[in-house]
Chains A and B, each alone.
Chain A
Amino acid sequence: AQSVTQPDIHITVSEGASLELRCNYSYGATPYLFWYVQSPGQGLQLLLKYFSGDTLVQGIKGFEAEFKRSQSSFNLRKPSVHWSDAAEYFCAVGDRLTGGGNKLTFGTGTQLKVEL
């Protein structure tokens, strides 16, 4: 069965500093990977996704992620963090459902705090 590990529960960075959030996955075939962000009291917003092709994917809000098959990783990065990036970030791997749609397996999330 697939699984996702986000080893960092909390991360604190200063505004303007670079950011890297770690995500490791376990999946038997080519993984389809997603990063979502959740602001307090809100739903999940899709940041970016990797399906195939270029292993460096660009997302919204200046985020990018790099797929590394050899390390089973899909780490999220941002070169310069803004205070508004404070939120919880979730990595997920997708699997198909026979009847249609897909099933996302999520990590436990990383809570990002930004110091001004």
Chain B
Amino acid sequence: ETGVTQTPRHLVMGMTNKKSLKCEQHLGHNAMYWYKQSAKKPLELMFVYSLEERVENNSVPSRFSPECPNSSHLFLHLHTLQPEDSALYLCASSQARGRRTDTQYFGPGTRLTVL
């Protein structure tokens, strides 16, 4: 595997379900990101982990819970979601040198549908 991978690629869940999205990066990076992409809205940064510590949390509802067990893996745990949470969830990774030039590389995304 190369680059950034995400599983599953598609997920349909009910509002009472609990599911998790997984992201894995094979680039030797140590910063990882979750974005939400909804129709007709700009990409929204949700969470940032740098060296396995959360460094950004953009006022995301608590029904989204991130986990970064090591620098190569990132999870997004989902519970009691709402239909408006249906979106494409993108994972990205970069170096974590604290520079604006740290370039982010994206995975293919998980298309989430909440019924």
Contacts and interface: CB of A to CB of B under 8 A. Distances in A.
Interface of A: 32, 34, 36, 41-46, 49, 51, 90, 94-104, 106-109
B90 A44 contact: yes
B50 A104 contact: no
Interface of B: 4, 6, 30-31, 33, 40-43, 45, 48-51, 53, 55-56, 90, 92, 94-109, 111
27 contacts: A34-B103, A41-B109, A41-B111, A42-B108, A43-B90, A43-B107, A43-B108, A44-B92, A49-B101, A94-B100, A96-B100, A98-B55, A99-B50, A99-B51, A100-B30, A100-B96, A100-B102, A101-B33, A101-B56, A101-B94, A102-B94, A102-B102, A103-B45, A104-B45, A107-B42, A108-B42, A109-B42
A101 B103 CA distance: 9
B102 A94 contact: yes
